[in-house]
């Protein structure tokens, strides 16, 4: 039964105005002491005009953000198989320890003697990453995966400069994430795209043909964005090294192989690790992330400042490029020392799992993905044959002649109570559906999801395209007009002009 309510609210789904539409002059959500009226020393630049912020009381603010939260889907709410994003359970223990006053309440410029525990924590986190990757060095400061890529590619630029070589071409598979070509370009490289084979891997012959003395290196994701392990990865490493280039590995999918394969054994020179994927620091609606980069001996000297070193009985933070330690840092990527809050959470996660649990986690992630693949492969069109790693990729040929697109199917999945899979990525597959269940899902939840997908596919095949075109029906908002949003951007609230 559908009807319109007086308020526009629908039970628990409550319409919520912007804070700017709720404020009243004279209201506030904080009780601060009365200023004493000291004469200001602001250089004559005292603010005279209003800022334009609304006044709300604390209960209003709590209610506002609680209502907003209820319009969001998170891992805590349900199955979130967003391929390549690794939406696994975020343990609350990690939140708790990240808030210990002795860790959260540290100023980044405190004297070294007062932050020995913090430096030790960074060193411990680094140690776990080094053992898990088998690599000799790690730069902890990059803020997120994309900045990790920047870190790795800048180290390659610096190493080439040190060799006096002007190599500027970077080979990037066409299945790569958009940050790879964007990063290469930001480091002054040109991007040369490598095609994929019919089984979803790098075309080795095409790759070999593109090598030359102007090639700086390759940026390869492994396991790749199709959810597949690059079988020829060692051959690729050897070839790029023989040609005088470096091997940058995008480690976004490290979660599939943690504790089972060490990237060092594959011949890589640099790899970023998304702590917010593999080591479960929360995605937080789009960050913060953290993207430490492990380096081979060839690139290690060029790692950016700052970095932590052991010194005597304690730890020392190297903040300048001039310390006489044989290092030739390419620069600094971030203010202060990196995403400490994320190191704490990641270390807590790694300690909780241990070497045994991390190995189990990657195995279960791959098992869950292959189980999902097995359950769906007869009805959906599998993009590439064989076992997958931590995510299963399908193309949209199973929807051919139904009038239903990948997008339509995803929107119908929302009504079933799931977050949709990743759509239309990687670009090498038509209408891609990339599904990553992660190791923290039960068999039951994967079964429920597969049952729902199969029911929807049957519905699509029965010719009910119109149903899909208009999905979702049961969400706080239905399909939004993205074209209108881009054509005439409204990016902030403004008061009504009389």
Of residues 28-47, those binding another protein (CB under 8 A): 28-30, 32-33, 35-36, 38-47
> Of 221, 339, 402, 405, which lies in the binding site for another protein, with binding defined by CB under 8 A?
339
Concatenated DSSP letters of 269-325: SEEE--TTTTT----TTT------EEE-TTTGGGPPBPEEEEETTEEEEE-STTSSS
- Which is closer to another protein, CB of 52 or CB of 212? 52
- Which is closer to another protein, CB of 117 or CB of 400? 117
Phi first, then psi: give them for residue 194, nearest 5 degrees: -105, 130
Which residue pairs, CB below 8 angstroms and at least 24 apart, start in 182-186? 182/146, 183/146, 183/149, 183/150, 183/153, 183/219, 184/153, 184/219, 186/150, 186/153
Q: Which residues from 158-187 bind another protein, rule CB under 8 A?
A: 177-179, 181-187
Residue 202 Cβ, how far from another protein at the closest point, in Å?
13
**Contact present, 192 and 172 (Cβ < 8 Å):** yes
**Contact present, 200 and 224 (Cβ < 8 Å):** yes
- Which is closer to another protein, CB of 10 or CB of 461? 10
Site string for another protein, 268-307 (x = CB under 8 A): --------x-----xxxxxxxxx-------------x---
Phi first, then psi: give them for residue 491, nearest 5 degrees: -110, 0
Question: Contact region for another protein (CB under 8 A) — 238-246, 292-300, 383-391, 398-406?
Answer: 383-391
Residue 143 Cβ, how far from another protein at the closest point, in Å?
4
Question: Contact region for another protein (CB under 8 A) — 208-216, 241-249, 453-461, 479-487?
Answer: 479-487
Residues 6+ positions from 458 with CB-CB distance below 8 Å? none
Question: Contact region for another protein (CB under 8 A) — 17-25, 206-214, 294-302, 460-468?
Answer: 17-25
Q: Which residues from 421-460 bind another protein, rule CB under 8 A?
A: 425, 439-443
From the list 413, 334, 338, 383, the residue with the least C-alpha distance to 82 is 413
- Which is closer to another protein, CB of 34 or CB of 401? 34
- Which is closer to another protein, CB of 343 or CB of 398? 343
Q: Is 253 in the site for another protein (CB under 8 A)?
A: no
Phi first, then psi: give them for residue 95, nearest 5 degrees: -65, -40
Residue 485 Cβ, how far from another protein at the closest point, in Å?
4
Burial (CB count within 10 angstroms: exposed 0-12, middle 13-18, buried 19+), residue 382: middle
Q: Is 212 in the site for another protein (CB under 8 A)?
A: no
- The dihedral through the CA atoms of 129, 132, 133, 136 has a sign that is positive
> Of 7, 335, 496, 498, which lies in the binding site for another protein, with binding defined by CB under 8 A?
335
Q: Is 392 in the site for another protein (CB under 8 A)?
A: no
**Contact present, 84 and 252 (Cβ < 8 Å):** yes
Instruction: Tell me which H or E stretch contains 354.
Output: helix 340-376
From the list 238, 253, 236, 265, the residue with the least C-alpha distance to 171 is 236
> Of 341, 379, 382, 448, which lies in the binding site for another protein, with binding defined by CB under 8 A?
341
Question: Contact region for another protein (CB under 8 A) — 213-221, 243-251, 414-422, 457-465?
Answer: 414-422
Residue 286 Cβ, how far from another protein at the closest point, in Å?
3
Rounded distance between C-alpha atoms, residue 53 and residue 47, angstroms: 14
> Of 209, 309, 455, 485, which lies in the binding site for another protein, with binding defined by CB under 8 A?
485
> Of 173, 245, 338, 426, which lies in the binding site for another protein, with binding defined by CB under 8 A?
338
**Contact present, 184 and 152 (Cβ < 8 Å):** no
Instruction: Tell me which H or E stretch contains 220.
Output: strand 215-221
Q: Is 125 in the site for another protein (CB under 8 A)?
A: no
N-term to C-term CA, the chain: 41
- Which is closer to another protein, CB of 234 or CB of 400? 234
> Of 14, 54, 328, 382, which lies in the binding site for another protein, with binding defined by CB under 8 A?
54
Instruction: Tell me which H or E stretch contains 481.
Output: none
**Contact present, 220 and 236 (Cβ < 8 Å):** yes
Q: Is 139 in the site for another protein (CB under 8 A)?
A: no
Residues 6+ positions from 178 with CB-CB distance below 8 Å? none
- Which is closer to another protein, CB of 6 or CB of 41? 41
- Which is closer to another protein, CB of 46 or CB of 242? 46
> Of 360, 381, 397, 448, which lies in the binding site for another protein, with binding defined by CB under 8 A?
360
Residues that contact another protein, how many (by CB under 8 A) = 204
Tokens of 400: 């051919």
- Which is closer to another protein, CB of 1 or CB of 42? 42
Q: Is 83 in the site for another protein (CB under 8 A)?
A: no
């Amino acid at each position: 039964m559908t009807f319109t309510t007086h308020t526009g609210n629908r039970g628990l789904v409550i319409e919520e105005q912007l804070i700017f539409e709720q404020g009243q002059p004279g209201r506030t959500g904080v009780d601060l002491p009365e200023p004493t009226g000291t004469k200001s020393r602001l250089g004559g630049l005292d603010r005279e005009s209003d800022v334009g912020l609304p006044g709300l009381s604390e209960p209003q603010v709590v209610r506002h953000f609680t209502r907003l939260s209820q319009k969001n889907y998170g891992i805590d709410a349900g199955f979130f198989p967003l391929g390549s994003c690794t939406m696994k359970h975020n343990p609350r223990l990690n939140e708790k320890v990240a808030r210990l006053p002795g860790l959260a309440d540290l100023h980044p410029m405190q004297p070294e003697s007062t932050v020995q525990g913090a430096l030790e924590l960074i060193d411990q986190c680094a140690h776990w990453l080094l053992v898990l990757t088998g690599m000799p060095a790690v730069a902890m400061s990059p803020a997120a995966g994309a900045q990790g890529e920047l870190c790795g590619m800048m180290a390659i630029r610096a190493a080439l400069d040190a060799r006096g070589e002007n190599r500027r071409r970077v080979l990037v598979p066409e299945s790569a994430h958009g940050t790879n070509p964007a990063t290469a370009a930001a480091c002054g490289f040109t991007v040369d795209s490598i095609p994929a084979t019919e089984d979803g891997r790098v075309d080795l012959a095409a790759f070999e043909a593109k090598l030359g003395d102007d090639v700086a290196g390759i940026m390869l994701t492994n396991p790749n964005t199709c959810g597949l392990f690059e079988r020829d990865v060692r051959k690729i490493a050897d070839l790029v090294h023989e040609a005088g280039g470096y091997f940058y590995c995008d480690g976004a999918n490290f979660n599939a192989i943690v504790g089972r394969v060490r990237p060092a054994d594959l011949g890589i020179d640099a790899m970023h690790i998304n702590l917010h994927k593999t080591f479960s620091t929360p995605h937080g609606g789009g960050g913060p992330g953290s993207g430490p980069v492990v380096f081979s001996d060839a690139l290690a000297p060029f790692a950016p400042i700052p970095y932590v070193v052991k010194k005597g009985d304690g730890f020392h933070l190297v903040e300048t490029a001039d310390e006489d330690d044989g290092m030739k840092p390419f620069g600094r990527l971030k203010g202060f020392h990196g995403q400490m809050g994320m190191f704490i959470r990641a270390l807590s996660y790694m300690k909780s799992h241990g070497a045994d649990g991390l190995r189990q986690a990657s195995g279960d992630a791959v098992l869950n993905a292959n189980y999902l693949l097995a359950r769906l492969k007869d009805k959906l069109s599998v993009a590439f044959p064989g076992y997958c790693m931590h995510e299963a990729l399908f193309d949209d040929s199973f929807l051919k002649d139904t009038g239903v697109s990948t997008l339509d199917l995803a929107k119908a999945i929302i009504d079933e109570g799931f977050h949709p899979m990743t759509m239309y990525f990687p670009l090498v597959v038509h209408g891609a559906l990339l599904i990553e269940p992660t190791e923290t899902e039960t068999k039951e939840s994967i079964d429920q999801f597969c049952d729902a997908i199969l029911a929807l596919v049957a519905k699509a095949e029965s010719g009910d395209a119109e149903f899909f075109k208009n999905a979702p029906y049961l969400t706080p908002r239905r399909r939004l007009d993205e074209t209108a949003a881009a054509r005439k951007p409204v990016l902030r609230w403004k008061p009504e002009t009389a």
